[in-house]
């Protein structure tokens, strides 16, 4: 069995200046493929609500949905460190016992090795409580989709000097609370680089420029599975939607025309003797 990537390995990667690639992952087959390539981090993100279940935002994702998908990923990935998002309203600084119960279920039933929580300084008590209980925590600041109604949409965060300083303070607070890494989402590149240099723990950027220690993208975005939308921060590496459509069309046509299945796809009595 392959040795699992640890949070300590990730910190050493930062110290050596090694970039840390991360992708979201939601199923067993994709996890096997990505794990075989050597991805050190896989994120079972609550983005699954949108890209897998067709919801309008991440707010409708439940803990049971997250655990269901994470368990599949954990069966497929044997080397990558698997991080699971704690979904909206399942953790809170005002209810630390709830936060611990949620995170404990995510780890025990989902098979993840770490959890991710959204929010800045107000999440420091949650991070501290989980870490003290033996649960590694990845922070997430900048654009936090679970707070989309509070921040007024999917927009770049930290653009003013005051807002930038709040993000710097948030990153420091999360590191001091024990977070092993922090996602920086839709943060101006110079600010993300400043935060990355300031911290001793890795930063993972998404729409935050090249100055972060690592990068994360949504699997469906970079694989071209949704042809209708591509975020500015994403790069489409292949058009899988087109390839799937072409293959499915061939199958559709061959079944309709009677060309599939052919003799080589069938079993006759002689082959059973």
Q: Would you state the structure tokens that stand for residue 227, as one six-digit string? A: 């042809």
Give the integer Cα–Cα distance in Å for 209 and 174.
Answer: 21
Q: How many C-alpha atoms does 165 have within 13 Å on its Cβ side? A: 2
Q: Do 22 and 43 touch, CB atoms closer than 8 A?
A: yes
Give the integer Cα–Cα distance in Å for 66 and 62.
Answer: 6
**Which residue out of 118, 175, 185, 193 is catalytically annotated?**
185
CB atoms within 10 A of CB 141: 26
Q: Do 78 and 2 touch, CB atoms closer than 8 A?
A: yes
Q: Of all helices (H) and strands (E), which one includes residue 172? A: helix 161-177
Q: Do 61 and 48 touch, CB atoms closer than 8 A?
A: yes
Q: Catalytic site residue 185?
A: yes
85 pairs with which residues across the strands? Answer: 116
Q: Could you give the residue numbers annotated as active site?
A: 185
């Amino acid at each position: 069995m392959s040795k699992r990537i640890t949070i300590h390995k990730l910190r050493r990667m930062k110290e050596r200046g090694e970039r840390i690639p991360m992708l979201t992952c939601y199923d067993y087959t994709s996890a096997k493929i990505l794990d075989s390539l050597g991805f050190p981090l896989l994120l079972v993100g609550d983005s699954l609500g949108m890209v897998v279940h067709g919801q309008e935002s991440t707010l409708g994702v439940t803990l049971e949905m997250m655990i269901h998908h994470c368990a599949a990923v954990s069966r497929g990935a044997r080397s990558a460190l698997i991080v699971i998002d704690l979904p909206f309203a399942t953790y809170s600084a005002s209810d630390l016992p709830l936060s611990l119960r949620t995170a404990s279920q995510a780890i025990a039933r989902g098979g993840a090795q770490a959890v991710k929580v959204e929010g800045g300084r107000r999440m420091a008590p949650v991070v501290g409580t989980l870490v003290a209980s033996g649960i590694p925590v990845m922070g997430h600041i900048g654009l936090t989709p679970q707070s989309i109604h509070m921040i007024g949409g999917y927009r770049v965060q930290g653009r003013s000097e005051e807002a930038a300083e709040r993000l710097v303070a948030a990153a420091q607070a999360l590191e001091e609370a024990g977070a092993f890494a922090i996602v920086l989402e839709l943060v101006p590149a110079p600010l993300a680089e400043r935060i990355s240099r300031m911290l001793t723990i890795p930063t993972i950027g998404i729409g935050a420029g090249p100055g972060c220690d690592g990068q994360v993208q949504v699997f469906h975005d970079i694989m071209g599975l949704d042809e209708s939308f591509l975020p500015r921060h994403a790069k489409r590496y292949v058009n899988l939607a087109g390839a799937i459509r072409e293959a499915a069309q061939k199958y559709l046509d061959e079944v309709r025309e009677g060309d599939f299945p052919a003799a080589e796809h069938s079993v006759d009595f002689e082959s059973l003797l």
